[in-house]
Amino acid sequence: MLKTTLALIFAATTAFAAPPERLEITVPGGPGSGLDQAARGIEEALRSEGIVRNVQVVNVPGGGGMVALSQFITTKDGDPNVALVQGAGTVFFPLTNATPVSLADVRPLARLAGEYEVIAVRADSEITSLEDLMARFKADPGSIAWGGGSPGSTENIFFARLGKIAGMEPRQVNFIPHPNTGEVVVSALNGQVSVVGGGMQDFLPQVEGGKMRILAVAAPERLEGIDAPTLRELGYDIVFANWRGISVHKSLSDEDVAPMREMIETMVKSDRWHEMLAERGWLDFYLPEAEYQQFIADEESAAKEILTELGITQ
Amino acid sequence: MLDTFFALMGGFAVALTIQNLGWSLLGVTLGTMIGVLPGLGPAATVALLMPLTVGLDPISAFIMFAGIYYGAQYGGSTASILLNTPGEAGAMMTAIEGNAMARRGRGAQALATAAIGSFVAGTIATIGLTFAAPLLVELALKLTAPDYFALMILSLATVTALLGNSVGLGLASLFIGLFLGSVGLDPQTGQSRFTFGIIELMDGIDTVVVAVGLFAVGETLYTVAYQNGVVEKIHQIKGSVRLSREDWSRSWKPWIRGTLIGFPIGSIPAGGSELPTILSYSLEKKLSRKPEEFGTGAIEGVAGPEAANNASAAGALAPLLALGLPTSTTAAVLLAAFQQYGLRPGPMLFDSNPALVWGLIASLYIGNALLLVLNLPLVGVWVKLLSIPKPWLYGGILTLAVLGTYSLNGNSFDVVLLCILGILGFTMRVFFMPIVPCILGLILGPMIEQQLRRSLAISQGDWTVFLTHPLSALLLALAAAIVLLPIILQLTRRRASQHG
Amino acid sequence: MQQSSAPKVALATAITVAGGVVLWMAGSIPQGFGYDAVGPSLFPRIIGIGLLISGALSMLESFRPADDENGRADLRPVLLILGAMLLLAAGVRIAGWIPTAALVFLAGTIAFGDRRIVLNLVIGVVLAGIILIAFNEGLGLNLPLGPLSRIGG
């Protein structure tokens, strides 16, 4: 009887791996960047829910995130208490630049949050709807200037794919890159571009202030609180999001990874996490390891395809 | 107009409590201390000190931010003047003339004119912000890429005033700066340019590394090479530490002009903070009765750029407050601060949370005034810093330079770059190559290229777009005039003397 | 005493050669396809040509009589300082901030003629230590601790 009890207790304790004592999160971006905000969000949730008491966020900006990635791979061998945040950009960057490393060199563990891309225009723009936009685009492709982030990044790929679905050549999309979100909004407001793309949060203040309106969202279903159709509804089968997730070092065994996995599972179910998602306008994009890795592989191959057609792959 | 005034008074009522004054004082002090460190500009300082404000109520927190912000600016100009370590691009012009003045024993005057100029500019600009922010932003949004391009070209045209005696070397300096600015990924197509496969170079060369390398390190290397190891003190204070009447009369107009340049350009989304200081410097040199003094300590070269810098920082808050658009790093940090308090700046901010906005604006005035009141008497004390024996002084400067550079990204490569740029700065000094064109090239080059290519992409390759936009055409004509007029005048003068 | 124009000629040559190199490298930047019609290689080409022209002008000007001069240069302290800085770049992650920064400080003092090595080393360590504490604890930045990280941390 005693033996059985002890055996059960033993089994129970090893099956339930407690979250790690401490956690260090490497951020491939400077303070204030998108990935940094994600990391600090994770830090806050973990600490206020008491899941992990000692969380440290380390910024390693530079090289499109590759400096951080490279450093992570070389210095965090065998360390079960460190994680790396990444996003869509981390997948896309190595496709257009010759980098020594990529996400294939780490072990993606879970996708956590994100937001769907939206297409927006200045409130008084002559473009009345998405159908109107696409009609003008097809009639005279060069006349539509599409504003978004860096070359080879989310919006570049998003618009190119949209153009292709509309039956045009990806290269016909006149993509106007901008170094940051602020400039994208400015380009929309001063009218120099016809449309802009980005996350909902980027344009929300302007939409609420009546200066911009949303033509469509690239989500599977309509988004709460936004009176705009999905691209699917309008006949363009595309769903596109800017997402964030975390990875650990490839050298870790499944046993080593169990505490971290436990930590994530607890966090994404916690109240504080959901509160925070609501506060920041992020969506719950949780995907566990296997599905996450498949997701990354799918995103990468779709992106590679379109980037090759654009001629900017390396 | 009147209700704006009352709203502002309301803001003052909130901000002027003993407690909040205390926060302002704390902010100003901390800001100054940290702003002195090279590489840490006001934005970084505010970002670093933000965690300290968690738990304060929003208005007190913003009052502290405003204090930190102005304090950091002042700390930065102090470091530029005394130590030749500009912590950000906007401080570089101040470093040129200010440090030259310090070397001639006139450091106190440089500090004083910087402090007073910043106060004057900050006050006028904040008044402008109070009454005209939405209008200003509306005007600013009428500018599009071709107009920006033309504005940058106009700024570049002013380099003709700064080439110095040797046109060849001056131009070389400009093109070296342009080269440094083009290293990295091309912003339009993402192609790697001059990166030699080094991923750290993909983001380009940080302006701070160039500033610290060319100024602090370059100057140190030059001094040590030609000093033959003499151990001595430099910077004896000449005469009193007060501004003479001549100093005042030479400073007040640059203060005003600097403000008038800085505020509007600061409020233009892509204006940047370096552009106003560069324009102010060139303007003051052109208008000065003693242009040859520039480079050896002309007080106008401190007064104008300092005012411009401060005014443009206030101007950059206009798009933030009117539209929720951060157009400078500091504005972005403030935006993050707003969000920390659950506020979302946007076109609705003035309406949805007037107390906070007016409290913030009032605290800008207060921070500005506090800074002046605190630091002006201390100018004499600060300058004593320069009487530290050279070995310790320069040892300290080098250590700070390395600190500022390394702490940018936590990356050793930046320190290597610092050495390379230090060697460049050294070489430029040995051959009396002017440094300002290099900075102009570094800062303006990428901007010019981006606006040019953006304009052409939107117009689908049509070059006439620069002439069909009226403002662009005007500015380009002005730029051409600035470059060609001196040449034409010289030619006609020569012909006249030949025939005479 | 007139300064020889040899160094100036060397500089002018260096500038011209740099221009040539930049122009050559610009040629191998792949063109974009975009609507901007100008591509990423335009500016690099302009820079290359600009350097060539500046180099040529500088060459002409280097034969003008010199009205400014420097005197003799002692390059050893320059190399000392650069060496210390490069040492920091190489070793800061391994040895930590304190020893490498202290050496930079020390190199600066020696370069300026102060021979009190032990005193300056101590000052350097103290200075670096204050910076480390202020930055790591006060500001949350991360200067490397090197071997010190094994103590507590």
Q: pLDDT digit string (tens) for B249-289? A: 888 899 999 999 999 888 888 767 788 998 899 889 888 88
Among C37, C85, C120, beta carbon nearest to B415 = C85
Among B202, B269, B454, beta carbon nearest to A176 = B454
Instruction: Write the pLDDT tens digit of every residue in B460-469.
Output: 888 999 999 9
Region for B401 from its dihedrals, namely left if φ exceeds 0, alpha if ψ lies in -120 to 50, beta otherwise? alpha
Residues in chain C with CB shorter than 8 Å from the CB of B452 are 38
Residues in chain B with CB shorter than 8 Å from the CB of A105 are none
* Three-state DSSP class for residue B341: coil
Instruction: Write the pLDDT tens digit of every residue in B19-62.
Output: 878 888 888 888 887 787 776 667 777 776 776 666 777 778 87
Q: Tell me whether B451 touches chain A (CB under 8 Å).
A: no
Q: Is the pLDDT of residue B234 over 70?
A: no
Q: Which range, A25-34, A288-297, B324-333, has the best average confidence (pLDDT)?
A: A288-297
* Three-state DSSP class for residue B101: helix
Contact indicator for C13, B434 with CB cutoff of 8 Å: no
Angle, in degrees to the nearest 10, between helices B390-409 and C97-111: 140
pLDDT grade for C1, boundaries at 50, 70 and 90: very low
Share of chain B above pLDDT 70, in %: 93
What was the pLDDT predicted at A124?
92
String of DSSP letters for B191-250: -EES-TT-GGGTT---HHHHHIIIIIIHHHHHHHHSSTT------PPPS-SSPPHHHHHH
pLDDT grade for C114, boundaries at 50, 70 and 90: confident
Average pLDDT, chain B: 83
What was the pLDDT predicted at C82?
95
Which residue(s) pair with A287 in the sheet?
Answer: A111
What was the pLDDT predicted at A215?
95
What was the pLDDT predicted at A165?
93
> What's the pTM value of the predicted model, to 2 decimals?
0.87
* Three-state DSSP class for residue A6: helix
d(CA C25, CA B193): 9
pLDDT grade for C20, boundaries at 50, 70 and 90: very high
Q: Is the pLDDT of residue C92 over 50?
A: yes
What was the pLDDT predicted at B236?
56
Q: Which chains touch A (3 or more CB pairs under 8 A)?
A: B, C
Instruction: Write the pLDDT tens digit of every residue in A93-137.
Output: 999 888 889 899 999 999 999 999 999 999 999 999 999 999 999
Maximum CA extent, chain A: 81
Name which CATH class applies to A20-114+242-310.
Answer: alpha beta
**Higher pLDDT, residue C124 or B326:** C124
The Cα of B419 is separated from the nearest Cα of chain C by a number of Å equal to 6
Which residue of chain A is at minimal alpha-carbon distance from B329?
A: A32
Q: Tell me whether C33 touches chain A (CB under 8 Å).
A: yes
Average pLDDT over residues A35-42: 88
Contact indicator for B394, B223 with CB cutoff of 8 Å: yes
**Higher pLDDT, residue B258 or C153:** B258
What was the pLDDT predicted at C118?
92
Q: In this complex, do C101 and B399 lie within 8 Å of one another by their Cβ atoms? A: yes
Q: Is the pLDDT of residue C151 over 60?
A: no
Q: What is the topology classification, in CATH, of domain A116-217?
A: D-Maltodextrin-Binding Protein; domain 2 (3.40.190)
Contact indicator for B46, B32 with CB cutoff of 8 Å: no
What are the residue ranges spanned by the domains of chain A? Answer: 20-114+242-310, 116-217
Angle at alpha carbon of residue A299, lines to A297 and A303, rounded to 5°: 120
Q: In this complex, do B200 and A179 lie within 8 Å of one another by their Cβ atoms? A: no
Q: How far apart are the first and last CA of chain B?
A: 61
Instruction: Write the pLDDT tens digit of every residue in B74-92.
Output: 888 888 898 888 877 778 8
Contact indicator for B371, B119 with CB cutoff of 8 Å: yes
CA A203, A208, A209, A214 torsion-angle sign: positive
d(CA B377, CA B422): 35
pLDDT grade for C140, boundaries at 50, 70 and 90: low
pLDDT grade for C65, boundaries at 50, 70 and 90: confident
Among B86, B65, B68, B70, residue whose Cα is nearest residue B119: B70
Alpha carbon C21 to its chain's center: 21
What was the pLDDT predicted at B182?
94
Instruction: Write the pLDDT tens digit of every residue in A298-307.
Output: 999 999 999 9
Which residue of chain A is at minimal alpha-carbon distance from B324?
A: A205
Alpha-carbon distance values, B414 to A13, B14, B407, C75, C85 (Å):
48, 44, 9, 23, 11
What was the pLDDT predicted at C96?
86
Q: What are phi and psi of A114, to 5 degrees?
A: 170, -175
What was the pLDDT predicted at A132?
94
Q: Is the pLDDT of residue C4 over 70?
A: no
pLDDT grade for A145, boundaries at 50, 70 and 90: very high
Residue ranges of alpha helices (H) inside chain A are 2-15, 34-48, 66-75, 88-96, 130-139, 154-165, 181-189, 200-208, 254-269, 271-280, 289-310
Structure letter (DSSP) for residue C150: G
Q: Which range, A203-207, B424-428, C31-35, has the best average confidence (pLDDT)?
A: B424-428
Instruction: Write the pLDDT tens digit of every residue in B106-155.
Output: 888 898 899 899 899 988 998 888 888 888 888 888 899 999 999 889 88
What was the pLDDT predicted at B240?
61
What was the pLDDT predicted at B126?
87
Share of chain C above pLDDT 90, in %: 48
What was the pLDDT predicted at C152?
38
Q: Is the pLDDT of residue B181 over 80?
A: yes
Average pLDDT, chain A: 88
Which residue of chain C is at minimal alpha-carbon distance from A146?
A: C35
Q: Are the folds of A20-114+242-310 and A116-217 the same?
A: yes
d(CA B152, CA B156): 6
Share of chain B above pLDDT 90, in %: 23
Q: Is the pLDDT of residue C11 over 60?
A: yes
Q: In this complex, do C35 and A310 lie within 8 Å of one another by their Cβ atoms? A: no
The Cα of C123 is separated from the nearest Cα of chain A by a number of Å equal to 30
Upper half-sphere CA count for residue B53 (Cβ side, 13 Å): 30
Alpha-carbon torsion, ordered C96, C97, C98, C104, to 10 deg: 120
What was the pLDDT predicted at C153?
33
Instruction: Write the pLDDT tens digit of every residue in C72-85.
Output: 788 899 999 999 99
Instruction: Write the pLDDT tens digit of every residue in B353-390.
Output: 777 777 778 878 888 888 888 777 777 777 777 778 88
d(CA B89, CA B404): 14
Average pLDDT, chain C: 84
Alpha-carbon distance values, B405 to B41, B83, B281, C145 (Å):
12, 16, 26, 17
Instruction: Write the pLDDT tens digit of every residue in A245-263.
Output: 999 999 999 998 999 999 9
Share of chain A above pLDDT 90, in %: 54
Contacts of A16 (CB under 8 A, 6+ apart): A262
Q: Which among A36, A59, A185, A279 is the top mutation candidate for probing chain B, defined by the most B β-carbons within 10 Å of its own β-carbon?
A: A185
What was the pLDDT predicted at B271?
67
d(CA B409, CA B251): 38
Q: Is the pLDDT of residue B350 over 80?
A: no
Instruction: Write the pLDDT tens digit of every residue in A189-232.
Output: 999 999 999 988 889 888 988 899 999 999 999 988 788 999 99
Between strands A82-87 and A22-27, the pairing is parallel
The Cα of C22 is separated from the nearest Cα of chain B by a number of Å equal to 9
Contact indicator for B75, B32 with CB cutoff of 8 Å: yes
Give C115-120 contacts, CB < 8 A, sequence gap 24+: C120/B391, C120/B392, C120/B395
What was the pLDDT predicted at B241?
64
Contact indicator for A27, A36 with CB cutoff of 8 Å: yes
Identify the helix (H) or strand (E) that includes residue A110.
strand A106-122
The Cα of A109 is separated from the nearest Cα of chain B by a number of Å equal to 25
CA B437, B439, B445, B448 torsion-angle sign: negative
CB atoms within 10 A of CB C137: 9
Residues in chain B with CB shorter than 8 Å from the CB of C108 are 220, 391, 394-399
Contact indicator for B76, B91 with CB cutoff of 8 Å: yes
What was the pLDDT predicted at B351?
72
